[in-house]
Amino acid sequence: MNCFSKRLRRTAPIPGSSHNDLIPSTPPRRNGWSWPLQVFQLIGWLVYSYIAIVSFGIYIPLLPPPWNHVAYALTGSSFIVHFLAHIAAVTIDPADASVRVKHSYASPMPLFDRTKQQHVIQDLHCYLCDVNVGPKVKHCSICNKCVESFDHHCKWLNNCVGGRNYRFFFVAMSSATVGTILVIVVVLFVFIQHYLDPHILRTAPQFDSLVGNTTWLVFLPFAPIKTSSAGLLIIAFVTVMLSITCLLLIGPLLVFHLYLLSKGISTYDHIKIQRQKKARKQETHLEPHDSKPYDKSPQIKDSPVDCQSALSHGSSSCQIDNEASLAGRFSESVCAEMENFQRSSKKVKSFRNGSTTHTQNRERNKSMKTMESWNPDSSEEAQSSSVRSSESVPRVQDPLGSSVMTSDYS
């Protein structure tokens, strides 16, 4: 168990310039309607209002029946569900139960002194809220309160997303995705049919009084307003581009939260896991290598050579002895001559297969003595002795009289 690799659960609401600084505190925010409002929150409501007005006031009334009723039902349901879920996610206070019971949101929070505690939440106790919290609680620096089952702080809601309002946040995302797709389909249908067959889009009774296809009516059927074809197409283009932008923002976010739900983790847990993986990768790169570097220095050619032990073990190469020092140092050429001498002695032994073990031992001792008292002319003497030993082998006359055969004693 590596107990020292675990990090303390901590969140600093406002990073101080020094550990001795007193971090200023602000009153906690109750929900997304608390001041100050976020810019993204205002932009979201403006986009929602524009798409709703354009869809239900201009393009869905132009659809031929019964498709206009289907579009009213599906698009209207998605917009109403999104509106209610959005309001709920903004209004619900996601703070921990102990924080909601203790705190009065009108009073400011106490100052946080880093000389006493280094982190806001430590050992499951928040030193700013001064309450004991659970393991999934995090102190949000923007809302300045501890949030139960903290997921993230959403700028579009201007509120934290936690355990109490996460399901409403997820429903708002899902309904917004469905509604945006329906709006894109409706507007593109109207845009294409305007060039292919505009009479399909002019089925409302109000179009009977109009002559030609250049004039169109919007906000049917209650407040018809005349507009040109260019104005209708420009609004359609702007609506499609804006809807595609919203879909590119909401769609990946919805897919990401579907992935988090399948894993059973929150956004904050996912961020912590990614940080831990990154920290482990950095630690592995910074760990010192225990393996010694490969020694590429050339070996010394004039190392002591033990030729006698090589011959005694029957090997055909000279062994380098780096530990014991010999009285005499032979060069590599001398070792080569020794190997040649050993091969010649083996050839001599092949002719003396019928000799006794005593004779073999005597020949081996003689070879060892010859090696010790070796001189450059010893190889010639060995070759002459091998010739003489081969001549001493008894010969048998070939019955045909054409050659002399050597008797086989094996």
By annotation, the residues acting in catalysis are 154
Which residue has tokens 């509604």? 179
Which residue has tokens 């919007």? 218
- Please give the distance of CA 305 from its chain centroid, rounded to a whole number: 56
Report the distance separating Cα 394 and Cα 388, nearest Å: 12
Instruction: Count the helices and strands in the chain (H runs, E runs).
Output: 10, 14
15 upstream amide cis, omega within 30 of 0: no
In this structure, the dihedral spanned by the alpha carbons of residues 55, 59, 60 and 64, taken in order and rounded to 10 degrees, is -170
Residue 216: φ, ψ to 5°? -125, 160
The residue among 317, 322, 318, 323 whose CA lies nearest residue 306 is 318
Q: Which residues of 212-247 are buried (b: 16+ CB within 10 A; e: fewer)?
A: eeeebbbebeeebeebeeeebeebbeebeebbeebb
3-state SS assignment for residue 248: helix
